[in-house]
């Protein structure tokens, strides 16, 4: 069969041969055995409902074994044989170009070069899934190949519920992930519902098909690192940045450190992930001995080098060793997946990676205690460094939250609303006041042609647009504009592409609309192929996350989720090609609600109309909320937006004289 025929086939009417377990692939850890005997029967029934009853007797023992071995039913037998990667949009079968764009993005999320655990359909973060099983993938691709622009596909946590009649301006796909009833949104609830095959954790951009590989966070991390050094009033040259995590999004850290120009030390416990990042040239060197690492860092300082060093081991050992050696760390953070601490997101110090995976599955309570003990030790080591002047920030991975729950010394001596912890979230000090409040966030695009020359052309277009806008930009956003122009000019030489030909930059509503319009005009002229727009949910208005995206909201509303819900509803009727709303993402299930979108530009007047309507709302919804929270940068930004668009009328806050209290 051709690739197109396989897509159109969906779930085959025969049983493919079972596939051997490939130990060369990076696999998800075994999930804990959480279902009762009765619930296991239900999980098996739920899995078998995708298949003709004539196959049930043969599939039942196989699925039961998967549930026993992995804690999930992935249906490995049905994994396609074709290359899993984004292709030219013209290679996908179908009646709708928008649907083909979504197929392209789904495959990009599952590309072996992009996905953390591709056989388990997990893109990043340890459990950020595109689908729960391979039957869902096959069925979704089939539906997309049949869809017209008068239909919408409803996706329930990876399950394609079906095609429903709609209209050309409706989203082609509406995605929900993990939207369980709030009282059933604890870690064990998630484990149970996922094992039953009825809900999944979509992370931020995995389950919404908008992940573009670690490049997506390289830019944000670069901005964060640059501004962290600006906060301590030191040049990155010769400065030391210590962090951990090389899998998924955290793999961006060493590359960002190199772009910023510092010495990055990033610990990673998984040898396969470290090897992949080294082969991809996202990290310069791998070290397995702490004494050698210290010597190498000292040499880099002496030579004023820009270099990224991976330590194959636990980051706690790095913090402790550098303290013992008197090695001054300038800035520090952590990017392990602590939103998922009990299932592979964080590995405790003192036991091997292999031992930890075994304990996680076979003795979860002991593993939990090891993690808690490690977090206490981790925080104690960080505290020693910060007492000597290290600037430490929480990088939105729930490090401080989970450390506090473990009893670590991370709470502020004088806590106040929004400043409970000793250390700030990077959003509180950097991203919030410097970027999000002014409307700057991670705007991204994918060249649907897959052509290198299209990406080069879009880089050129984006740079020209930003340089033109900057000529008349107010002083308040000149730094943001310049950082992004510098970024886009160096994007190609930094070899950021993993998977699809994609790019990211931080832009406000004006920048996003003007760049998108310029792309659409270029497509219309035949200079480039179609472009898929999107953003990380980690943005101005897509996410309500009290310890990350909205951690610099101090009016008490950071625990509400109106903004994210309003965002995705508004995007839906303003022209998005697909929209998604998730429970969980970045900091974990139950801790955040986030929404995202994708949009196809095809050079048409319809695309131009949609991009102007949707992109304006997608940013200014968040600025309005941040303004109402009395964030001064956001008040400034929303006033500018109202001057530019007379139909925009936003309620502005009155500031209260503190002396009255």
Tell me the binding residues.
Answer: 125-126, 203, 268, 395, 586
Please give the structure tokens belonging to residue 40.
């296991």
Q: Are 638 and 627 in contact (CB under 8 A)?
A: yes
Q: Are 325 and 294 in contact (CB under 8 A)?
A: yes
Distance CA 428, CA 393 (A): 9
Angle (CA) 190 214 264, round 5°: 110
Distance CA 560, CA 576 (A): 24
Any bridge partners for residue 175, and if so which? 155, 580
Any bridge partners for residue 394, and if so which? 425
Distance CA 343, CA 360 (A): 7
User: Minimal CA–CA distance to 200: which of 529, 586, 531, 583?
Assistant: 583
Distance CA 463, CA 288 (A): 41
Distance CA 337, CA 406 (A): 16
Binding annotation for NAD(+): 125-126, 203, 268, 395, 586
Any bridge partners for residue 174, and if so which? 154, 579
Distance CA 70, CA 87 (A): 31
Per-residue three-class SS string for 515-533:
HHHHHHHHHHCCCCCCEEE
Per-residue three-class SS string for 592-657:
CEEEEEEEEECCCHHHHHHHHHHHHHHHHHHHHHHHHCCCHHHHHHHHHHHHHCCCCCCCCCCCCC
User: Minimal CA–CA distance to 515: which of 454, 477, 458?
Assistant: 458
Angle (CA) 429 592 477, round 5°: 35
Q: Is 602 exposed, middle or buried (0-12, 13-18, 19+ CB in 10 A)?
A: middle
Distance CA 135, CA 358 (A): 28
- The CA distances from residue 246 to 101, 221, 270, 466, in Å, are 29, 13, 8, 32
The sign of the dihedral angle between the CA atoms of 462, 463, 464, 468 is positive
DSSP 425: B
Residues 6+ apart with CB under 8 A from 232: 330, 331, 391
- The CA distances from residue 172 to 99, 150, 363, in Å, are 7, 8, 44
Q: Could you tell me how many helices (H) and strands (E) the chain has, helices first?
A: 22, 19
Q: What is the DSSP string of 321-357?
A: HHHHHT---SEE---S-TTSTTTTSS--TTS-HHHHH
Q: Are 319 and 242 in contact (CB under 8 A)?
A: yes
DSSP 75: -
Distance CA 417, CA 263 (A): 35
């Amino acid at each position: 069969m051709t690739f197109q025929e396989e897509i159109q086939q969906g779930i085959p009417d025969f049983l493919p041969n079972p596939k051997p377990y490939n130990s060369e692939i990076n696999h998800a850890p075994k999930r804990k055995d959480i279902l009762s005997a009765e619930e296991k029967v239900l999980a098996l029934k739920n899995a078998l409902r995708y298949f003709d009853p004539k196959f049930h007797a043969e599939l039942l023992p196989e699925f039961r074994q998967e549930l026993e071995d992995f804690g999930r039913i992935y249906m490995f037998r049905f994994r396609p044989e074709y290359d899993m990667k984004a292709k030219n949009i013209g290679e996908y079968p179908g009646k709708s170009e928008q649907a083909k764009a979504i197929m392209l993005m789904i495959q990009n999320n599952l590309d072996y070069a992009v996905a953390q655990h591709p056989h388990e359909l997990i893109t990043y973060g340890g459990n950020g899934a595109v689908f729960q099983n391979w039957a869902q993938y096959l069925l979704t691709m089939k539906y997309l190949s049949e869809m017209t622009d008068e239909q919408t596909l409803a996706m329930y946590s990876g399950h394609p519920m079906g095609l429903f009649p709609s209209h050309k301006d409706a989203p082609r796909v509406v995605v929900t992930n993990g939207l369980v009833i709030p009282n059933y949104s604890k870690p064990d609830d998630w484990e149970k519902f996922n094992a039953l095959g009825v809900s999944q954790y979509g992370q931020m951009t995995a389950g919404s098909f908008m992940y573009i590989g670690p490049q997506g966070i390289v830019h944000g991390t670069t901005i964060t690192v640059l501004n962290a050094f600006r906060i301590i009033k030191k040049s990155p040259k010769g400065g030391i940045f210590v962090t951990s995590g090389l899998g998924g999004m955290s793999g961006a850290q060493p590359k960002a450190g190199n772009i910023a120009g510092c010495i990055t030390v990033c610990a990673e416990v998984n040898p396969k992930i470290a090897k992949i990042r080294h082969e991809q040239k996202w990290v310069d060197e791998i070290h397995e001995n702490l004494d050698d690492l210290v010597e190498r860092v000292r040499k880099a300082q002496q030579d004023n080098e820009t270099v990224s060093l991976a330590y194959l081991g636990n980051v706690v050992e790095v913090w402790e060793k550098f303290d013992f050696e008197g090695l001054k760390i300038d800035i520090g953070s952590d990017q392990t997946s602590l939103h998922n601490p009990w299932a592979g997101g964080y590995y405790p110090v003192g036991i091997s990676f292999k031992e930890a995976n075994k304990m996680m599955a076979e003795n979860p309570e002991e593993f939990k205690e090891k993690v808690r003990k490690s977090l206490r030790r981790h925080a104690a080591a960080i505290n020693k460094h910060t007492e000597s002047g290290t600037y430490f920030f929480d990088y939105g991975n729930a490090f401080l939250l989970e450390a506090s729950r473990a009893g670590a010394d991370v709470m502020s001596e004088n806590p106040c609303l929004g400043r409970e912890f000793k250390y700030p979230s990077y959003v509180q000090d950097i991203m919030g006041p410097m970027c999000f409040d002014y409307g700057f966030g991670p705007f991204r695009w994918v060249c649907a042609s897959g052509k290198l020359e299209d990406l080069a052309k879009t880089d050129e277009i984006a740079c020209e647009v930003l340089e033109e806008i900057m000529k008349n930009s107010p002083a308040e956003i000149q730094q943001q504009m310049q950082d992004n122009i510098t970024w886009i000019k160096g994007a190609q030489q930094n070899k950021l592409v993993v998977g699809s030909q994609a790019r990211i930059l931080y832009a406000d509503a004006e920048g996003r609309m003007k760049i998108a319009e310029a792309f659409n005009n270029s497509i219309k002229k035949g200079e480039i192929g179609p472009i898929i727009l999107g953003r990380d949910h980690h943005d101005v208005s897509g996410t309500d996350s009290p310890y990350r995206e909205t951690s610099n909201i101090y009016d008490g509303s950071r625990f509400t989720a109106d903004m994210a819900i309003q965002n995705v509803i508004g995007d839906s009727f303003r022209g998005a090609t697909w929209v998604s709303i998730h429970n969980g993402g970045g900091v974990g299930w139950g801790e955040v609600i986030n929404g995202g979108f994708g949009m196809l530009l095809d050079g048409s007047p319809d695309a131009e109309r949609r991009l102007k309507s949707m992109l304006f709302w997608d940013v200014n919804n968040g600025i309005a909320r941040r303004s109402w929270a009395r964030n001064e940068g956001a008040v400034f930004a929303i006033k500018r937006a109202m001057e530019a668009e007379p139909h925009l009328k936003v309620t502005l806050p009155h500031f209260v004289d503190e002396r009255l209290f």
